[in-house]
Each structure stands twice: as structure tokens, then as C-alpha cells.
């Protein structure tokens, strides 16, 4: 194992998770949902606090792993989370309730994010997390850019598409969508991008003023 691999493995286990997150992660795996990795969850927890996000929108609730991470240290933040699968959303409601998250801080919406996001208020969110179908990533990104405020950020976990993005031979739809987004934001004067190798890659995009 190389030093880089050891570093990555160490970072993936740091820091520990709350009991609620451990239970939610176990439930995700039981239902066949791939949650954000522990290191990405830690980045989400820190980013919410660092950006002083009071309003967060999430595409892809799952059963609440990323939502719990976003709210872990942010006691006044409200979360709007969109999920297509009704069973997942039912489980998420229980997960959030068991974790002691008040219903007043949650807006859980069942539906297709492509239809829900255009109905959200423009510039109303400090942070937007896109953790859903990668094939629709560019469409989600365009809509997220409308609802995030200037100075706010959009976070895209899974930016390496299970390690396929760096492989020039990989040409599947999900990989191409990730590559297209990475190329688009790298050249945009309206966005400050940063790509981290945590987990399966996490792309953080800050919407610049103007």
C-alpha cells in the first residue's frame, strides 16, 4: 500500500460518527443505498458551519446520512431535502426523529428533483448538496446554481464516478456527466471550484458574486 493510499484510508475513518449516523449508514446499506463516505460526511458537517449556512437544500435524501452530516454541528440550520423513493423518505423521517432533529428544521419533499427544484425560491439557499442520479448531474447543477445565493456553495459527492472519471477508457453516461461538469466549472468565471479526493471525490463549487 502506498503512502497516498494509507493517507486516504486514514482520512476515511476520521473523525468518528454519532450513533445516529452509524445507524443511518447501516440502514442505507441494508436498503442498497450508497451513502456518502465518512470523510465526505465530515466535510459536509464542517462546510455547513464554515459557510454559516442557515438554509440547506439536498437532492437525494436517502435515509438521512448526508442530512445528519449537514446538520451535525449546525443547530440553527434548516434542511430542505428531496427524495424520489417514498420508502427511503419514510425511513429518513424516522432517522431524523430518532436523532432528535426537530421537524421545524426539516422540509422533506417526495418527488423528482428536476420538477421540485424549479419551484424553490431563487437565491434562497446557502448550501446545495447534489447526491442523486449522476446522469442528470448537469441539469441538477443548472437548477442548483439558481437557488444558491451568491457566495453560497454547491457540493457534489461522487465526483469521480466510482473512480472512472480519471480513466479515459470509461465512457458511460454517469462518467461523462461528471467529466462534463468538471470541465464546465473549471472554465466558468462565475464559480470557484475545488476537487477533493475524499471518498469517491467531492466537488465543491462556490458561486461568486456578480
85-94 — which CB contacts under 8 Å span 24+ positions?
86/110, 87/31, 88/31, 88/33, 88/61, 88/62, 88/63, 89/61, 91/27, 91/31, 91/63, 91/64, 92/61, 92/62, 92/63, 92/64, 92/67
User: Which domains are delineated in the chain?
Assistant: 3-207 (3.40.50.150)
- The overall pTM is greater than 0.85: yes
Please list the pLDDT of the chain residue by residue as tens digits (210 residues): 899 889 988 988 888 899 999 999 999 999 999 999 999 999 999 999 999 999 999 999 999 999 999 999 999 999 999 999 999 999 999 999 999 999 999 999 999 999 999 999 999 999 999 998 899 999 999 999 999 999 999 999 999 999 999 999 999 999 999 999 999 999 999 999 999 999 999 999 999 986
Strands 148-157 and 202-207: antiparallel
Amino acid at each position: 500500500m502506498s503512502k497516498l493510499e494509507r493517507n486516504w484510508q486514514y482520512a476515511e475513518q476520521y473523525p468518528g460518527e454519532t450513533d445516529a449516523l452509524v445507524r443511518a449508514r447501516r440502514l442505507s446499506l441494508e436498503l442498497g443505498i450508497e451513502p456518502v463516505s465518512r470523510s465526505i460526511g465530515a466535510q459536509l458537517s464542517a462546510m455547513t458551519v464554515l459557510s454559516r449556512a442557515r438554509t440547506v437544500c439536498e437532492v437525494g435524501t436517502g435515509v438521512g446520512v448526508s442530512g445528519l452530516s449537514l446538520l451535525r454541528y449546525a443547530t440553527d440550520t434548516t434542511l430542505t431535502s428531496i427524495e424520489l423513493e417514498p420508502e427511503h423518505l419514510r425511513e429518513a423521517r424516522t432517522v431524523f426523529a430518532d436523532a432528535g432533529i426537530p421537524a421545524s428544521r426539516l422540509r422533506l419533499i417526495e418527488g423528482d428533483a428536476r420538477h421540485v427544484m424549479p419551484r424553490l425560491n431563487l437565491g434562497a439557499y446557502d448550501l446545495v448538496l447534489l447526491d442523486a442520479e449522476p446522469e442528470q448531474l448537469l441539469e441538477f447543477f443548472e437548477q442548483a446554481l439558481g437557488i444558491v445565493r451568491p457566495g453560497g456553495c454547491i457540493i457534489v459527492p461522487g465526483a469521480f464516478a466510482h473512480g472512472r472519471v480519471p480513466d479515459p477508457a470509461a465512457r458511460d453516461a454517469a462518467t461523462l456527466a461528471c467529466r462534463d461538469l468538471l470541465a464546465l466549472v473549471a472554465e466558468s468565471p462565475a464559480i470557484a471550484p475545488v476537487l477533493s479526493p475524499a471518498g469517491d471525490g467531492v466537488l465543491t463549487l462556490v458561486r461568486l458574486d456578480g
